[in-house]
Chain A
Amino acid sequence: MSDTPLLSVRGLSKSFAGHQALAGVDFTLRRGEIHALLGENGAGKSTFIKTVTGIVRRDAGDVWLDGVPIAPRSAEESARAGIATVYQEVGLLPNLTVAQNLFLGREPTRFGLVRARAMRQRARERLAEFGLAIDVGAPLGSFPVAVQHLVAIARAVDLSARALILDEPTASLDTHEVTVLFGVMRRLAAQGIGIVFVTHFLEQVYAITDRITVLRNGRLVTERETAQFPRLDLVRTMLGRDLAEDEGRAETGARAPRIEAGPPVLRADKLGKAGYLRPVDLTVAGGEVVGLAGLLGSGRTETARLLFGAERPDQGRILLDGKPVRIAGPRDALKHRLGYCPEERKTDGIVADLTVRENIVLALQARRGPFRPVGGAAQDRIARDFIAKLDIRPPDPERPIGLLSGGNQQKALLARWLATEPRLLILDEPTRGIDVGAHAEIIRLIRSLCDAGLALLVISSELEEIVTYSDRVIVMRDRAQVAELADGAIDVTAILRAIAAEAAPASLPEPA
C-alpha cells in the first residue's frame, strides 16, 4: 500500500495486577485526520494513550509511526519520535513564562546564555499562528486553562510532532475557547498532522472528527467514519447496551412537579465579596434542585465557595431555616450540615493516597472531631454501603482512591458528603470529565436525593443537564446573578437568552 498510515497500532495489550486494561487493540491514524477515541470510564482510553506513548510499558503489540516500528519508554522519547500528548491537566510549568514553557530544554542561546528577547519574539510568532496574542513574558499559570492548552499544543507541534494526542482538552473550556481550539486543530490537520481527540462531548465529536474509534472494557469495539456513524449508534456502542430503554426511562423519570417546596433550608441574602462575586440572593428548599447556570468564570463556583465558607464573604448573610448563621469556614458549613463537592476533583476533592473507605468517611470524621473516631467496623460498613448504593467500581473499600476512574472518584466524593447526612448539598460540575454511563447514574442520583428531601444546588455547564433536573435555575454572568427561571420557564433557550442578554450571540453554543 502506497499510503502507509501515520500511526498504526496492532494488538496492543496491557494488564495491571491481573486486570486486563487493554486486550489486543488495533488503531490506525491517517495523515491529516482528526480521530475521536471514545469509550466509557474504564474502557482503556488512558491506558491506550499511556501505552502508545511509553509512559506505561506495553505487554504485547506493535506501534508503527510512518511505517517505522517505535517503542518509546517515556513521554519525552515519544515526543521526540513524533507523538506528542496534551493532557487534560496541562503538563507544563505554571510558574515559568509562556516563552520559557514553549522553549523549555531548547532555548535559543548565544555563548551559552539564553537569548531571552529572541525567545520571546519567537514565542510570539509561534503563538500568533495559533491566533494567540498574549504576553509571552507572563507566567503560564496566570492564563486560563484554554490558553495553557494552546501553549502546550504549540509546544508539541513545535517539537515536530506528527501525531498529536489531545486527552480531553475541552473538558474545562468554554464555548468560545473550544471554537478557537477547533480552529487550531483543523489548521494542524490541514498541515498533515494526525490528531487523536479524546473527549466526552458528543457534540464536539460530530463537529470536528473524521473518524471514530470506540473502546470498551479494554477492547476495540469499532472504527468508523464519523459521517457514517449515527449518534444513537455511537452511544449504544459506547455503552454496550440498548439506549432506547434508557431514554424511555429518562423521559418517564423526569422530575414530578414538586409537592409544595417547604420553607427554604438555605437563603443567601445579598451574599457577596468585593472583586469576587457581586451580591447574590438565592434560596434552596428541601426536595428542591436549584441549578446554577452560566459560562465558565461567570460566578457559579464563586457562589458555591462563599456559601460553603471556602471563601469569606464581605457582605450579605446566610440564613439556615430562616436564622442567620456564621459560616467562617468549611468546618462551620459541615456543622450546619452543608456539603460541597468541588469542581476540581483531584486538587480539591480526593486524597489520592488514602483508600476509598478513608475518603468516604473523611467529612463525617471531620464533623465528629478527632476524638470521636468512627470505628473500623463502622467505617467499613459505611464504605461498603455507599460502594453498593452508588455502584462504585471496583467495589474494594481498601483500594487507594487515586487508582479509580474519574466517575468512580466522583461517586466516592458524593458518598463522602452523603455519609454526613447533609441537608443541603452543593455539587459543582458533578458530571464533568466522566463518561456517559456514570453521567446518567449521577443524574439519576441527583433526582433520587432530591426526592428524599435533600436540598440541592447544582452547578453545571451542560445546559440540557441542568434543564432535566432543576426546579429553578439561577443564571450567572460576569460574576453576577442575572436571572432566575422557574417551573415552566426552564429550557435551554431561555437560559441561553439570559446568558446572552449582552454577550454576542455568535459565541454561544447552539441548543441541542
Chain B
Amino acid sequence: MRALRAGAPQLLAFLAVLLADRLVAPQFLDLHWQDGRLFGSLVDVFNRGAPVALLSLGMVLVVATGGIDLSVGAVMAIAGAVAASLADSQPLPLVLAAALATGLVCGLWNGLLVAVLRIQPIVATLILMVAGRGIAQLITEGRIITFASPDLAFLGGGAVLGVPMPVVLVLGMLLLTLALVRGTALGLMIEATGGNARASALAGIDTRAVTLAVYAWSGFCAALAGVVAAADILGADANNAGLWLELDAILAVVVAGSSLLGGRFSLWLAVLGAFLIQAMNTGILLSGLPPELNLVVKAAVVLAVLLLQSPRLAGLSLLLRSPR
C-alpha cells in the first residue's frame, strides 16, 4: 500500500502514456491470442521494454550507492556475443552460464575500480563502456554472428502461459532481486552506503563489499539483457546491441524517483520507469509521427514525471488545495 502511494506519480504517468497511446492508435489496447502467446501493442511495450527493465534492476542499485554504471550497454553486447557464438555448439545452460558469468566478471571489474581503487564511478564505468564494444567485436571477429539454436531463441521469442519470455524474465529477475536486497539486509546497507558512506563504514557496514556487489549485479543484469536482445534477433551485433541503452536505464531509474546522489531506491518503480519509456517509444512509432520526435517527447514526459516528484511542486499543490 505504501509502495503504491510512493509510486503514484510514476503509475499515473504510465497510465497517462498508455491512454495517449490508445488515442493515437485506437488498436493499441487490443490483445489477441496466436500460436500460444499474446500479441498486441500493449504486449509489445512490455516485450520491447524488457532489456531496459533488466538493466534498470541493476542500475537502480548502483545509483542507490551514489554510483552510476555507463557500461551496461557494452556489457549487453559482450554477453550477447558470447551467447551467440556458443549457441549452436553448446547446450543452453552452458551458453547462459557463460554469458551471465561474463557479465558478472564485467560488473566485478567495475566494482573493483570503484570500490577498491576509488575511481569515480562515471569514469570507471566509462572505461568498460568504450572498451566493451571492442571486446564484443573481438568475440564476434567483427562480424554479426547469427545462430539457429531454438533453445536460445526461445528466450527472445518464446512464451510461458502466453506471456512473452522476456517479460517473464523481467518478472523473475524483479522477484529475485527483491528477494536478494529486500529479503536480506542488503537493501538497507545499500541505502545506508549511498546515504552516508562514512557513517555506514563506522557503523560496521562493509561499504566496499556492498559497492562491489551492486556493480556485479548490474553486470549480471546487463548480461541477461544482452542474451535476451541476442535471442530476439537470433544474432549478436557487437556494434549496435544495447547501444545507448545505459542512458535509458539511467532515465528509468531517475523516473523511478531515485536520487543520483544515492540513498533510497525502489526496484519495482525502476522497472515501471523502463516500461514507461518503452510505452512512449511504441506510442510514437504507432502514431506515425516521425521517429525523430521520439527523443523530444521522451524528454518532455520525463520532465513532467520529475516535476510531479519535485518537493517544491508538491508544496505548491498543497497550497492550492488548502486556500488560506
Contacts and interface: CB of A to CB of B under 8 A. Distances in A.
A361 to B, nearest CB: 8
B263 A353 contact: yes
B210 to A, nearest CB: 8
A353 B194 CA distance: 10
Given A351-B195, A353-B191, A370-B189, A331 B204 contact: yes
B1 interface: no
Nearest to A17: B318
Contacts of B320: none
B185 A347 contact: no
B184 A362 contact: no
Interface residues of A, number: 32
Interface string A150-164: 000000000000000
B176 interface: no
B188 A350 contact: no
Interface in B148-189: 183-186, 188-189
B184 A371 contact: yes
Nearest to A341: B202
A350 B199 CA distance: 6
Contact of A363 (B184, B186, B196, B204): B204
Contacts of B205: 331, 362, 366
A348 B198 contact: yes
Contact of B202 (A342, A368, A372): A342
Contacts of B204: 330-331, 333-334, 363, 366-367
Contacts of A368: 185
A397 to B, nearest CB: 14
Interface in B192-213: 192, 195-196, 198-206, 210
Given A370-B184, A371-B184, A331 B206 contact: yes
A94 to B, nearest CB: 16
B264 interface: yes
Nearest to A333: B204
Given A351-B192, A351-B195, A330 B184 contact: no
A414 to B, nearest CB: 13
Contacts of B191: 351, 353-354, 358
A422 to B, nearest CB: 11
A362 B188 CA distance: 8
Contacts of A362: 188, 192, 200, 203, 205
Interface string B121-157: 0000000000000000000000000000000000000
Contacts of A90: none
Given A331-B204, A333-B204, A363-B204, A352 B195 contact: yes
Main DSSP-derived SS at the B contact region: helix
Interface string A438-465: 0000000000000000000000000000
A353 B195 contact: yes
B159 to A, nearest CB: 35
A365 B185 contact: yes
B190 to A, nearest CB: 9
A416 interface: yes
B276 to A, nearest CB: 24
Interface string B69-102: 0000000000000000000000000000000000
B185 A350 contact: no
- Of A349, A354, A358, most B-chain CB atoms within 10 Å: A354
- Closest CB pairs A-B (n = 6): A366-B204, A334-B204, A351-B195, A373-B185, A351-B196, A353-B263
Given A331-B205, A374-B185, 16 more contacts: A330-B202, A351-B195, A351-B199, A352-B195, A352-B196, A354-B195, A358-B191, A363-B204, A366-B189, A366-B203, A366-B204, A366-B205, A366-B206, A370-B210, A371-B184, A371-B185
24 contacts: A308-B202, A310-B202, A330-B203, A331-B204, A331-B205, A331-B206, A342-B202, A349-B199, A351-B192, A352-B196, A353-B191, A353-B263, A358-B188, A358-B192, A362-B188, A362-B205, A363-B204, A365-B185, A366-B189, A366-B205, A367-B204, A370-B186, A370-B189, A372-B185
